[in-house]
Structure 1
Amino acid sequence: MKITEFDDIRPYHDEELPAIFEELIADPAFQAAACSSMPGMPFEAIAAEMRTCKTKLDFQKKFCYGILWKIAHDHTDGLTLDHSALTDKKRAYTYISNHRDIILDSGFLSILLLDESLDTVEIAIGDNLLIYPWIKKLVRINKSFIVQRALSMRQMLESSARMSRYMHYSIKEKKQSVWIAQREGRAKDANDRTQDSVLKMLAIGGEGSLIERLKEMHITPLSISYEYDPCDYLKAQEFQLKRDIEDYKKTTADDLLNMKTGLFGYKGRVHFQATECINEELSLLSSDMPKPELFASVSAIIDKKIHANYRIYPCNYVAHDLLNANHEFASHYTSAEKEHFESYLDQQLNRIEISGKDVAFLRDKLLLMYANPLTNYLTACQ
């Protein structure tokens, strides 16, 4: 019997693809987006290629793989993955990672896994980003499942329970790995912390004790390290706007600008480091612990693994020293690297155009974004 309770949040079934492809092909907005992402290829040729895809993985290999590697080649200085800590590569895992880029965190992970002859991941994506009907269809073709936002408290509980059941079903029954960010939205200051609410959601589904339900998900912390964050100036700007404007909220246009900047901005080196599954650590926790204490303990386990597995770049050391007005880490960078980073900071600050621009405040926020990964790394490695 086919499970239907997940129908409006799950990725499409492969047999649904032909009809969805035709809907997209007939959509002028999708036509424009497809042609801009594949310049030089007539839309008729794109449509013909889409119709040859029999599975979601076919579509990812034929379209997403090439587009994402082109972004990596054009806008990074190298994209790498180390998942040697995972001894059983065929097992389905729940990759929980820090969150740097709205699209590329999960996108880069999938193409890196494909290059290791492994399956891509299913992706948790908030419906606040699905601003056009064609985007919602496209992400569900790309193995995304929908996280519903802006609900009442009762609706949120129901939605979380259903998503949890879906993720358990995906891991346990479909043997399909999934990716989810450790928190809702990106950490604007790069001080990455797992939200207990994410773990509470994961523990709703499954069977047995809370610990047994979490173990069923084969949680694997994943550290993502971007040398440069192309959205750093937008995040700094948002800090000032939130400081200066009561009830400030980002607009849809802001979200689109963040997505575009994240995709096509310079990122330097990008590294993904998978750590071992945390089931052994979960087994050491007492089932008698109060729930808040248990979730806080699991969050701390995940955070320590993510922090300890960051790849630290010269700019992180420079930022830490500049922020603290000292030379504590001077041995970790050259004068040329320091000069380059300071020039980069000035360039990003110049991109901020808001009234009452507080340069000293904005500069400190930018420095904090690059210093925090090092601060957390040092604490985790002690």
Structure 2
Amino acid sequence: MQKFDSIRPFYDSEVNEALCSSLNHPMMKAMMNFTFPETEEEVWKDQLSKTHSIRDFQINFVYQSIKKILENSSDGLTTSGFETLEPNTSYLFISNHRDIILDTSLLNVSLFDHGLVMTASAIGDNLVKKDFVLKLSKLNRNFLVQRGLTPRELLQSSKLMSEYICHLVSKENRSVWIAQREGRTKDGNDATHQGVLKMLGMASEEKEVTDYFRKLKIVPVSISYEYDPTDALKMPQLLANAKDEVYIKDKNEDFVTLLSGIIGQKKRIHIHVGAVIDKELDAIKADNDNTNKKIQALANVIDDSILQHYKLWPTNFIAYDILNNTKQFSHLYTSDEKQLFQRRFEMRIDTDNDTLREGFLAMYANPVVNKMKYQNAE
């Protein structure tokens, strides 16, 4: 399977060497000291040097790290829908995307806790420029999405990734996580990009693309954080977009965002996994006569699941009411919760700047707007 070498995570046969070469890296020490504060350095180094598989690394180290992150920077993780999934079965999880590392890590913690197959997860190669971060991502079963390509290179890259995802799900019985669109949602509007579905369909050998999508066992995922720890960091890009300017990231911006997501306060977090998209594909196949229409219809089905099952928090209702100068949802939050949100809001951005003010509030308010299209937001 050498064709996937440029994007795949480590094979188990490569894990021990990668870990042994990273034992003395400052970031590995920081990660282990954070996760196991009571443990002597020699002890965790010894354990790492005896680790020979991604699963062992994930369960014995990464899982513990994520639990520690939840303990230190959240009020806990709740889940729903996992009981509908089958053990020893691979799925393609298509998820809304809020945080670079935590979205996938929290899904894998939840899958492990429910005795289900954990995922290989897509990550942009722009996020793993540093050698250690690349190594760590490959140890955590991430595969690379290549960014900044020419149209011709993008076509080749998309085909390779499509084939790799197909290989993982159908040949290795490995679940896969992929975001519903490129990059994290900056404005709270979660929508599936048709380009992602077209990429997935490239590996199809079926005459009918909906039959191929059924084989992938697509499961929509909704993840919501009461507080987005990177909310203020998303504002410069929104400001540039409002001015019709091209946004250029600072050199270390992705790394700062990654770190902020891990250590920043999130309060409560909820993950819902939807039902496998199956019968809906029959209707899509019957109702649409060309592939583009079928892909659009599938994107709509995924969006409906993600938005309907998105967990709304007091912060979402508070932001909606402030933004719209209303008290429509005041029965769903306390004055203390509103005061806390306003204090955070005023500390993190320049509230005199209307674009920043509205952008920050809309990020939290838009999930309410989107959910109201389906039902009473309560």
1:341 paired with 2:341, answer: yes
Matched residues in 1 for 2:289 and 2:243: separation?
42
Change (3 A) 1:245 1:298: closer
What's the CA shift for 1:335?
Answer: 2.5
SS of the equivalent of 2:373 reads helix
* SS of the residue 1:260 aligns to: helix
Deviations 1:8-64 (A, max 9, x none): 211211112233233334xx6xx1001112225555444322221121100111210
Give the Cα–Cα distance (whole angstroms) in 1 for the partners of residues 166 and 326 of structure 2: 49
Cα deviation code 1:145-188 (max 9, x no counterpart): 11111111111111111111111111111111111111110110
The one-letter amino acid of 2:313's match is Y
Distance 1:70 1:22 in 2: 23
Q: How many residue pairs get matched?
A: 370
Where 1:38 maps in the other structure, the secondary structure is: helix
- The question of whether the paired residues in 2 share the 8 Å contact of 1:319 and 1:368 is answered with yes
- Partner Cα distance (1:123, 1:37) in 2: 20
SS of 1:319's partner is: helix
User: What amino acid is aligned across from residue 274 of structure 2 in structure 1?
Assistant: T
Which amino acid is 1:32 matched to? P
**C-alpha distance in 2, partners of 1:145/1:240?**
31
Distance 1:325 1:119, change over 3 A: same
Q: Which moved more, 1:187-196 or 1:372-381?
A: 372-381
Name the CA shift for 1:245/1:309 in 2 (closer, same or farther; >3 Å): closer
2:295 alignment counterpart: 295
- The TM-score normalised by the length of structure 2 is 0.93
SS at the partner of 2:3? coil
Q: SS of the residue aligned with 1:296?
A: helix
Amino acid at match of 2:121: I
Q: Work out the CA distance in 2 between the residues paired with 1:363 and 1:137.
A: 39
Is the Cα contact below 8 Å between 1:11 and 1:144 reproduced in 2?
yes
SS of residue in 2 equivalent to 1:5 = helix
Q: Aligned partners of 1:261 and 1:161: how far apart in 2?
A: 33
Alpha-carbon distance, 1:333 to partner: 2.0
Identity of aligned residues (%): 35
Conserved 8 A contact 1:125-1:146: yes
RMSD over aligned CA atoms reads 1.9
CA contact (8 A) 1:194 1:302 kept: yes
Counterpart residue type for residue 331 of structure 2: S
Name the SS of the counterpart of 1:96 in structure 2: strand
**Amino acid corresponding to residue 56 of structure 1 in structure 2:** I
Match for residue 192 of structure 1 among 187, 190, 193: 190
Query: What per-residue deviation string (whole Å, max 9, x for no partner) do you get for residues 104-162 of structure 1?
Result: 00011111222222232111111000111222122111111111111111111111111
Choose which of 5, 29, 35 in structure 2 pairs with 1:35.
Answer: 29
- How far apart, in 1, do the equivalents of 2:14 and 2:32 lie? 24
Return 109-118 or 305-314, whichever deviates more: 109-118
8 Å contact from structure 2 (residues 227, 266) kept in 1: yes
- Counterparts of 1:133-282 in structure 2 under 5 Å? 133-208=131-206, 209-244=208-243, 246-282=245-281
8 Å contact from structure 1 (residues 168, 216) kept in 2: no
Aligned 8 A contact 1:92 1:177 in 2? yes
Q: Deviations over 1:211-235 (max 9, x none)?
A: 1121111110000010010111111
- For residues 246 and 284 of structure 1, do their structure 2 counterparts lie closer, same or farther at Cα, with a shift above 3 Å needed? closer
What's the secondary structure of 2:93's corresponding residue?
Answer: strand
1:363: Cα distance to partner? Answer: 1.4
- Deviation, 1:84, is 4.1
Q: Residues of 2 paired with 1:43 and 1:126: CA distance?
A: 32
Q: CA deviation at 1:280?
A: 1.4
* Alignment-mate amino acid for residue 29 of structure 2: C
Deviates more, 1:217-226 or 1:111-120: 111-120
* TM-score of the superposed pair, with normalisation by structure 1: 0.92
What SS does structure 1 have at the residue aligned with 2:284? coil
The amino acid that maps onto 1:341 is: F
**Which secondary structure state, in structure 1, belongs to the residue aligned with residue 2 of structure 2?**
coil
Letter in 1 for 2:154: M
Distance in 1, matches of 2:87 and 2:371, equals: 26
Counterparts in 2 of 1:95-134, with a 5 A limit? 95-134=93-132
SS at structure 2 position matched to 1:57: helix
